[in-house]
């Protein structure tokens, strides 16, 4: 039997992909690389068995099973989930919401309402919306595309950094979720493979270095910005976030 997996197609999942590819599970997996919103849709529509999915999915499923102690999280600034703007948050009139995102959109809504206490118009964006970010029109950009915009706007609001400032807790963007009971032996092997990848970040980078040339310092990003262990503090942060949406 092959398990169907959907994994986020961003640099931050590279250690996971590397670990799975190096493991004895490689031949037992059918892996697709997708944007976060597609990972979620595939799991919800039963097109896959396990997905590295935005955590908002946990509110939408009756049979959600978190199958790993690993996640895509951040304990402070993450660099790849940011609100970009030419003007300060108080002057923003409208915000384009990244179509690739689910959890980050909800996080932004929480921060706008509770932390900044502003209410700009929110626009569901389509491909190439980044070009429309100017003057009083801001934009939420997630994933690897965010690297190229870090120095192009006067204001860059890193959402997980602000969440940490607001709540004192780390933020979990995505975790490994199954829509059915999964064999315990498989789960054990699966987590062993993920752990191997996280413990060998340098090797994972070297294996696909050319693919991620858009990131100036992938070693710093994967080691110091992304936090992979779904520990107690991250679970607290995740539970608080899910209560707020």
| Residue indicated by tokens 């959600």 | 64
Distance in angstroms (rounded) separating the CA atoms of residues 243 and 239: 6
| Confidence check: pLDDT of 98 > 60 | yes
| Confidence check: pLDDT of 213 > 70 | no
Q: Which of 127, 126, 83, 86 is CA-nearest to residue 105?
A: 83
Q: Which of 8, 66, 18 is CA-nearest to residue 182?
A: 66
Q: 227 pLDDT band (50/70/90 cuts)?
A: very high
Report the pLDDT averaged over residues 79-89.
96
Sign of CA dihedral 182, 188, 192, 195: positive
| Residue indicated by tokens 């039997």 | 1
Q: 145 pLDDT band (50/70/90 cuts)?
A: confident
Q: CA triplet 183, 185, 188: central angle to 5 degrees?
A: 110
| Confidence check: pLDDT of 133 > 80 | yes
Superfamily name and number for 3-74+171-244: Periplasmic binding protein-like II (3.40.190.10)
Q: CA triplet 197, 198, 202: central angle to 5 degrees?
A: 80
Q: 165 pLDDT band (50/70/90 cuts)?
A: very high
Domain 81-167 has CATH 3.30.70.660: no
Specify the pLDDT at position 214: 62
Q: 191 pLDDT band (50/70/90 cuts)?
A: very high
Q: Domains of the chain: which residue ranges? A: 3-74+171-244, 81-167
């Amino acid at each position: 039997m092959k398990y169907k997996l959907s994994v986020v197609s961003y640099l931050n999942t590279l250690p996971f992909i590397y670990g799975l590819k190096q493991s004895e599970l490689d031949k037992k997996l059918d892996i697709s690389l997708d944007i976060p919103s597609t990972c979620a849709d595939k799991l919800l529509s039963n097109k896959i068995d396990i997905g590295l999915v935005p955590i908002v999915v946990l509110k939408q499923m009756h049979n959600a099973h978190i199958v790993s102690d690993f996640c895509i999280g951040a304990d402070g600034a993450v660099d790849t989930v940011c609100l970009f703007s030419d003007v300060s948050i108080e002057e923003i009139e409208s915000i384009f919401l990244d179509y690739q995102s689910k959890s980050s959109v909800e996080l932004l809504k929480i921060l706008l309402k509770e932390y900044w206490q502003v209410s700009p118009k929110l626009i569901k964006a389509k491909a190439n919306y980044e070009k429309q970010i100017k003057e009083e029109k801001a934009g939420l950009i997630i994933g690897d595309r965010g690297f190229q915009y870090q120095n192009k706007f006067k204001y860059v609001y890193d959402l997980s950094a602000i969440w940490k400032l607001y709540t004192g807790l780390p933020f979990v963007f995505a975790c490994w979720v199954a829509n059915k009971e999964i064999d315990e032996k498989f789960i054990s092997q699966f987590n062993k493979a993920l752990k191997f990848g996280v413990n060998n970040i340098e090797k994972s980078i070297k294996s696909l270095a050319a693919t991620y040339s858009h990131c100036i310092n992938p070693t710093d990003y994967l080691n110091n910005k992304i936090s992979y262990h779904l520990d107690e503090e991250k679970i607290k942060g995740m539970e608080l976030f899910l209560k707020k949406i």
